[in-house]
Structure 1
Amino acid sequence: MAKDIGIDLGTANVLIYVQGKGIVLNEPSVVAVDTKTNKVLAVGSEAYRMVGRTPSNIRAIRPLKDGVISDFDVTQEMLSYFIGKLSVKGFMSKPNIMICAPTNITEIEPRYPG
């Protein structure tokens, strides 16, 4: 049976809830990107710890602004990383994932990232 997963994409933090386990992840909504290569170097807490301590070519990005996705590609990378951190052992099938979105977003903003 598939587990249900709830994701709250917050401007400050991302929370992930897994059915039967509760909140399993609470990390900052930050991604460190190398501006020369566009490569993601760190996500979440690790990226947050890098803020102000990196060379000028590494930029900390908050891909959500005012409760909505402002950078689809970086948000997709961040979500992939966080979901990959979950222990999926024991899942008999792919989990059902629900992502929370604000009710006052425009028709363009709920677009699938990617």
Structure 2
Amino acid sequence: WRLAEFLQAFVERLNREAIAHSVLIGSGGTRVAVFPHRQPGPRSARAACDTASLGHALLGWWALPRRGALRSLDEASVAVCLRALALPPEGHSRVINALAGAGWAIGSDAELTV
């Protein structure tokens, strides 16, 4: 239950900060991954990622609606899509603050790099 309490506190803080995120819970419920990301506008990442679900693309899963869509994906278009979903630098510090506020022990070297 302790993990669930920490997770809930963190997710609540992300919601208050209006930081979009995806949550994965591992089998057995003992491992959790939270992926904060930018919520793309209708023309930014959506245009670059029109063949894939944005949340899944962030996690590296490209659910493509048709076989031909795979051929249209190249390194450049994937990079544009993922760049549009990446948090801006100030978003990184907001995530660190949300973790610390939720009770996670954050060391002095908790610096995120792009």
Return the TM-score normalized by structure 1: 0.25
Q: Which structure shows the higher helix fraction?
A: 2
Q: Which structure shows the higher strand fraction?
A: 1
Return the TM-score normalized by structure 2: 0.25
